[in-house]
Structure 1
Amino acid sequence: MTAMSTESIKRPLPAAHATGRGPAPDPAARKGLSRRNRPLWMLIPGGVLMAIVIIVPMVLGVWMSLLDLDQYSLRKWLSAPFIGIENYIEAITQSGLLRSVWLSLSYSLIAMVITVPLGVAAAVATQNSFRGRAVIRSIFLVPYVLPTFVVATVWRTMFQPGSVVDNALHGVGIEAGLWLNGPNTYWALVFVQIWASWPFIYLLALAGLQSVDHEVHEAAALDGALWWKKLRYVVFPYLKGPLSLAFLIGMLHHINNFTLPFVLFGIPAPHDIEVLPILTYVTSFQSFRFGLSAAMAVVSLVLIAIPLFIYLRAVRLDDGESGGRK
C-alpha cells in the first residue's frame, strides 16, 4: 500500500457511518426551515379568529337549516327534530324566496349599471388638476363616508309626503305619489342605493386613472387623438381591472344590504322591496321559523359565492396568461 492509502485507512469514519443512523442533521438547515415556516406560524392567530367568527357560525347555520327549529323547539336548539332538506324545499316552493332573490338581483344590477358610468365620469372630471379640485373630491365622497343608517334616515325624511322630494317634483310638474309605501318603493330603494354607492366606483376608477402613464397621454396628444378615442383606447383599458372588482363588490354589497331597506321602509316592509335580507329577517324574528330562515341564509351564501368564484377564476386565468406571455 502507498502512504496515501494507509492514511485513508487510519482516518476515523464520520459519526453517521460509525453509528449507521444516517447523516447528522444540519443546524443551519433546521434554522432555515424554521424561518421558512415562520409566516405560517404568524397566521395562526388570524386563522383561529376566522374559524371562530366565520367558519363555526357558518357550520351552525347549515346545521340549523336541516332542523325543524322554531319557537317551540328553540329550547332544544341543535337537538331539534332533523328534517333534512325540507326547509330548502319549502323556501323554494312555498315562501317568497325566489321573488326576493329576483328583487335583490334586479335592483343591485340596475344600481350598478347606473353607478359605474357616474363614478367613471366623476373620476375623469376630477383627474386633472384645477382650482378647487380638493373641495370637489371631498364633496363627492360625502355619500360614501356617511353610515348607511344615517343615509336611510335622511332619505326616509325626504321621501315623506309633502316633503323635499315631492315639492321638488311638484315644481317641475310631476306628481310622484307615495315613496315609502306604494308602487314607487322599488325605485326609491334603487335611487337611494345609487346615491349612496356611486362614490365607491368613483374611488376605484380614480385609483385606476392614477396608474395611467403620463407618457401614454403625451403620445396620444401628439398623435392628435380626440377625447373619445383617448378615453376608449388609452384610459378605459387601465380601468378594466378596477371596474370589474368594483362591479363585483358592489353587487355583493347590494344583495346583502339589510340596513338600507330596513331603516328606509321599516318592518313590515312593502311587498315590492322584500329583498332577500329582509325576507330572512322577517322569517326568523317575526315568524320565528329559524330553520327556514337559516336555509334562506344558506341560499344567499351560495348566491354570493357563485359570482365570487367566477371572478376569482377569471383573475386566475388572466394571471396565468400574463405569466405565460412573460
Structure 2
Amino acid sequence: MTTPSTTERQDSAALGRAVPPVGGRTSKPPRRRRLDTRGRPLWMLLPGGILMALVIVIPLVLGVVIALLDLDQYTLRSWLSAPFVGLGNFVEALTQSSLLRSIGISASFALIVTAITLPIGVVAAIATQNAFRGRAVVRSIFLIPYVLPAFVVATVWRTILQPSGIANHALSVFGIDGGLWLNGPKSYWALVFVAIWSSWPFIYLLALSGLQSVETEVHEAAAIDGALWWAKLRYVIFPYLKGPISLAIIIAILHNINNFTLPFVLFGVPTPDAVQVMPVLTYIASFQSFRFGLSAAMAICSLVIVAIPLFVYLRAVRLDSGDEKVVTETEAAR
C-alpha cells in the first residue's frame, strides 16, 4: 500500500480533507463547535439571586412605589393607603425643589475631585514603582488617608477648618486671613480639598496594580532602544494603565456623586447651600421635612444619574457583550 508523501499530506491538510496517516488511520482537522449550555447547573445561582433580590430588587421596587405616593409623617403608619400622586413627586422634585442645583453641585464636585486625584495617584504610583530604601514605609504612609473611615476624616478636618483651627493659624503666619471654611462660598472648596486628600490613594492603588503588570522584558527593551522617560511613559507604561485607570475614574466619579458621610459630618445639618449635594438633599427631604415620597423620587432621579456614567463605562469596555464561548476539539486518529 502506498503512503502519501509529506507534500501531499500538507496540501490535503490545507484543503481541510481527511488525511490517511501512516498505518492506515484517518485523522480529521480540528473541529470548532459551540459549548452546550443545556447541562449547566443554573440552580447554583439561586443563593446569589435570592440575596440580590433581597438587597437590591425589593428595596428598589419599594422605593418606586413610595415615590408614587404622597407619603409623609401623617400617612406613614398606613403607607399602603397613602394618596397616589403618580409622577407628582418627580415633577415637584425637578421643578419646585433644589434637586437640579444639587445635581450640578454633585456633578461638578465629582469631576473636579476625580480630575485632580487622577494625576496625583498616577504620579505617586510611578514614584514608588521601583525599589528603594524605605519604599514600604512610603507606601504605607500614602494609604493612611484611604484606610481611615470617612467620618473620622470629616471629624478631623472639621476641627482643623474651624475659625480658630489649625488651618487659619497656619495661614495667619503668612498674613492670610482664612475666614470661614465651613460656611459660605468657601465651604465648596473645603469639601473638594478634603475629598481630594482622602480619595487620591484609591487612584494610587489601581495605578500601582497596573504598573505591576508591566513585564520586565518591556522595560529592558525600552532601555535598549534608548527611549527617553516621556516616550517610555507614553508608549510603554500608559498603555498598561488604560484599563485600571478607566476603572478608577468611573468608580471615583460614582463614589464622589454618592458621597454622603463626608459632607454630612464635615458641615452638619443644615448644610450650606454651596455643598448641598444630592445625598444630603435626599436626607433632608426624608428625615428633616418627613416628605418620604418626595425623597424617594429624588433618590430614583439620583440613581438614574449615577447609572449614566456606569452604562457608558460598560459599553466602553464591552462588558455587556454575549458570553458565547467557542472551543476547539481535536479528535484522536482512528
Q: TM-score range by the shorter chain?
A: 0.7 to 0.9
Equivalent residue number for residue 271 of structure 2: 269
TM-score of the two chains, using structure 2 as the length reference: 0.83
Contact 2:181 2:187 (8 Å CA) reproduced? yes
User: As a proportion of its length, which structure holds more helix?
Assistant: 1
* Alignment of 1:195 onto 2:197: yes
* Alignment of 1:143 onto 2:145: yes
Equivalent residue number for residue 8 of structure 2: none
Contiguous gaps of at least 5 residues in structure 1: 1-32
Q: Which has the higher contact order (CA 8 A, sep 6+)?
A: 2
SS at match of 1:288: coil
Instruction: Tell me how far apart the structure 2 counterparts of residues 73 and 318 of structure 1 sit (CA, whole Å).
Output: 42
Instruction: Return 219-228 or 134-143, whichever deviates more.
Output: 219-228
Equivalent residue number for residue 160 of structure 1: 162
- Give how far 1:317 is off: 7.5
Instruction: Tell me how far apart the structure 2 counterparts of residues 149 and 73 of structure 1 sit (CA, whole Å).
Output: 33
Change (3 A) 1:34 1:234: closer
1:97-144 C-alpha deviation (Å, 9 max, x unpaired):
000000000011000000000000000000000000000000000011
- Give how far 1:34 is off: 11
Equivalent residue number for residue 291 of structure 2: 289
Contact 2:314 2:320 (8 Å CA) reproduced? no
Residue 181 of structure 2 aligns to which amino acid in structure 1?
W
- Give how far 1:315 is off: 0.8
- Give how far 1:154 is off: 0.5
SS at match of 1:268: coil
Residue 288 of structure 1 aligns to which amino acid in structure 2?
F
Instruction: Give the alignment partner of residue 55 of structure 1, picking from 54, 57, 80.
Output: 57
1:121-173 C-alpha deviation (Å, 9 max, x unpaired):
00000000000000000000001110101110110011111211111222233
Residue 207 of structure 2 aligns to which amino acid in structure 1?
A
Equivalent residue number for residue 37 of structure 1: 40
- The share of aligned pairs that are identical, in percent, is 70
Instruction: Tell me how far apart the structure 2 counterparts of residues 233 and 318 of structure 1 sit (CA, whole Å).
Output: 29
Residue 53 of structure 2 aligns to which amino acid in structure 1?
A
Instruction: Tell me how far apart the structure 2 counterparts of residues 319 and 43 of structure 1 sit (CA, whole Å).
Output: 20
Instruction: Give the alignment partner of residue 206 of structure 2, picking from 190, 204, 208.
Output: 204
SS at match of 1:37: coil
Matches within 5 A, 1:215-234: 215-234=217-236
* Count of matched residue positions in the alignment of Structure 1 and Structure 2: 288
* Alignment of 1:110 onto 2:134: no
Equivalent residue number for residue 28 of structure 1: none
Change (3 A) 1:145 1:317: closer
Instruction: Tell me how far apart the structure 2 counterparts of residues 122 and 141 of structure 1 sit (CA, whole Å).
Output: 11
Instruction: Tell me how far apart the structure 2 counterparts of residues 253 and 135 of structure 1 sit (CA, whole Å).
Output: 28
Contiguous gaps of at least 5 residues in structure 2: 1-35, 326-334
Tell me which stretches of 4 or more aligned residues in structure 1 moved more than 6 Å: 317-320
* Alignment of 1:121 onto 2:123: yes
- Give how far 1:78 is off: 2.5
